Homo-oligomer: A and B are copies of this chain.
Amino acid sequence: MANIRAVSKLAGVSVATVSRALRTPDVVSEETRKKVIEAVKETGYKPNMMARNFRSKKSYSIMVLVPDISNPFFSMVISGIQQAAKKSGYSVLLGNTMGEVETERELAHLLHTNQTDGIIQLSSRFPLAPEDCEEGRTPPVINCCECVDDDSMPTVTLDNVGASRAMTDHLFGLGHKRIAVISGPKGSPLTVARLAGCQAAMKAANIPFDPALVAEGDYSMASGARAAEALLCNSLRPTAIVCFNDEMAIGAMQQIRKAGLSVPGDISITGFDNLTFAAYTEPPLTTICQPSEAFGEKAVEVLFDIIEDRAMPVRHLTLPYELVVRESTAPPSSAG
Chain A residues packing against B (C-beta within 8 Å): 1, 46-51, 53-54, 57, 59, 61, 69-72, 75-76, 78-79, 82-83, 91-96, 110, 112-115, 221, 250-251, 253-254, 257, 276-277, 279-282
> By the criterion CB–CB under 8 Å, are A75 and B69 in contact?
yes
Chain B residues lying within 8 Å of A71, measured Cβ to Cβ, are 75
Q: List chain B residues, Cβ under 8 A from A75.
A: 69-72, 75
From B50, B83, B277, give the contact of A96 (CB < 8 A): B83
**What are 28 A-B residue pairs whose CB atoms fall within 8 Å in the complex?**
A46-B113, A47-B113, A48-B113, A49-B115, A50-B50, A50-B53, A50-B115, A51-B54, A53-B54, A70-B72, A70-B76, A72-B75, A82-B95, A83-B96, A91-B93, A91-B94, A91-B115, A92-B94, A94-B94, A221-B276, A221-B280, A250-B277, A250-B280, A251-B280, A254-B280, A254-B282, A281-B281, A282-B282
A95 cross-chain contacts in B, Cβ below 8 A: 82
Residues of B close to A113: CB separation below 8 A: 46-49
Copies of chain A in the complex: 2
Contacts A69-B75, A72-B72, A257-B282 given; indicate if A93 touches B96 (C-beta within 8 A).
no
